[in-house]
Every structure is written in structure tokens, then in C-alpha cells.
């Protein structure tokens, strides 16, 4: 018998990556809008943290969320651009076992309809164990807009990552 969507883990963690935020010099507005949206969508946000733009700190937190906290979904916000301090994609790629390029491409494509700056996003999406890790932009507006793009696909993706053996039926 196939497991239902409700049988799967719907926990989430939000990692805000910001040097100024980690020092308490900036309010975590991106993390807050993501928290509100994920809760509205039915996810249980069990962990939320603000850390500096440091590859080792980001990688360690991603591993902690996937392994120790065993959340289904980790969303990061910040550090996906092209400045020297934007290292979230590198930290993510260092810990994921497989990438999910279609999700990152979909976010960039949708964002490109709103701003030409979307083409400089280096955000990645990947899987570590049974956890999906999604990089989102650092601005509250950009983070929420990008999350909205992938929300419809998240339940199916999470079910499959967590071992749902059922056939993939076409949508529509």
C-alpha cells in the first residue's frame, strides 16, 4: 500500500545567511516571511537560525539540519549572488549528494520575468539524505517569490526523496 502525503515528514528549517544579521545589526525579515509562508503551507518549522556568510558555518548548519534535526526541507536565504561573501551555493554543493537543477532553473526563470538581476543568481537545490536543501535570495521579496515558484512541486519532491514508491502520475 502506498503511503499518503500526510505520512511523510513535513518539517522545515530556515537558515538566514547574513554577516550583519548574525551580528544582530539587521533584522531577519527574509527568515520571517519564509516562516509565515511555510507555516501557511502546512510545514512545521522546527529550526530557524541566522549565521554569517562563511562556507564552513553554512555547510555545518546544513549537515546539522539534515542529519541531527532530520528535517525534510531546509531553505536558506541569502548569499546566492556574485559578491565575494556570497558563498551559500558553494557551501550547499559541498554537502548535497545530488542536485535538483530544475527547481533552481525554475526559480531563476520566474524571477527573470521580474528583474534582469535574476540571471546572476547562483542558487542551487540539492538533496542530502532525506532532506531537500533550497537556496533562496536574501531579500524578503525575492525569497518569497522564489519559494512560491517551487511550492507546488515540494510535496511530490519530498515524498519521493523520503521513499514514496508510488508511480509518478502526470499532473493535469
Query: What distance lies between CA 34 and its chain's CA centroid?
Result: 10
Q: Is the pLDDT of residue 47 over 60?
A: yes
Task: Please state the pTM of the whole predicted model.
Answer: 0.93
Q: Are strands 131-136 and 125-128 parallel, antiparallel or unpaired?
A: antiparallel
CA 113 to each of CA 37, 110, 116: distance values in angstroms, whole numbers, following the listed order: 22, 6, 8
The proportion of the chain whose per-residue pLDDT surpasses 90, expressed as a percent, equals 90
Q: What domains lie within the chain, and their CATH numbers?
A: 9-158 (3.40.980.10)
* Cell (9 digits) for 99: 542536485
Q: How confident is the model at residue 137 (pLDDT cuts 50, 70, 90)?
A: very high
Write out pLDDT tens, residues 90-127. 999 999 999 999 999 999 999 999 999 999 999 999 99
Which pLDDT score, from 0 to 100, does residue 167 have?
Answer: 77
**Contact call for residues 76 and 136 (beta carbons, < 8 A):** yes
Q: What pLDDT does residue 168 have?
A: 72
The pLDDT mean for the chain works out to 93
Using an 8 Å Cβ cutoff, are 97 and 133 in contact? no
Give the pLDDT of residue 8: 78
- What's the rounded Cα separation, in Å, for the pair 105 and 23? 32
Is pLDDT larger for residue 131 or for residue 168? 131
CA angle 12, 144, 159 (to 5 degrees): 40
Q: CA 43, CA 160: separation in Å to the nearest integer?
A: 17
**Is the per-residue pLDDT at 32 higher than 50?**
yes
Q: What is the pLDDT of residue 172?
A: 53
Pick from 23, 43, 24, 26: which is nearest to 34 by CA?
Answer: 43
At residue 170 the predicted structure's pLDDT band, cuts being 50, 70 and 90, is low
Q: Which three cell numbers stand for residue 87?
A: 558563498
Cell 531563476: give the residue. Answer: 108
Cα diameter, the chain: 52
For 67-141, where are the E strands, in sequence order?
73-77, 98-99, 125-128, 131-136
Amino acid at each position: 500500500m502506498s503511503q499518503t502525503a500526510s505520512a511523510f515528514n513535513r518539517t522545515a528549517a530556515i537558515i538566514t545567511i547574513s554577516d550583519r544579521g548574525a551580528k544582530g545589526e539587521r533584522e531577519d525579515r527574509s527568515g520571517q516571511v519564509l516562516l509565515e509562508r511555510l507555516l501557511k503551507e502546512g510545514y512545521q518549522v522546527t529550526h530557524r537560525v541566522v549565521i554569517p556568510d562563511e562556507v564552513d558555518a553554512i555547510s555545518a548548519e546544513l549537515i546539522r539540519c539534515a542529519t541531527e534535526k532530520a528535517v525534510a526541507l531546509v531553505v536558506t536565504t541569502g548569499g546566492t549572488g556574485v559578491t565575494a561573501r556570497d558563498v551559500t551555493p558553494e557551501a550547499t554543493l559541498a554537502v548535497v549528494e545530488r542536485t535538483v537543477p530544475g527547481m533552481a532553473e525554475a526559480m531563476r526563470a520566474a524571477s527573470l520575468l521580474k528583474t534582469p538581476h535574476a540571471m546572476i543568481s547562483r542558487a542551487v537545490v540539492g538533496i542530502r539524505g532525506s532532506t531537500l536543501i533550497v537556496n533562496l535570495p536574501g531579500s524578503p521579496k525575492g525569497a518569497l517569490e522564489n519559494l512560491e515558484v517551487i511550492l507546488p512541486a515540494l510535496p511530490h519532491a519530498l515524498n519521493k526523496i523520503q521513499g514514496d514508491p508510488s508511480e509518478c502520475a502526470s499532473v493535469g
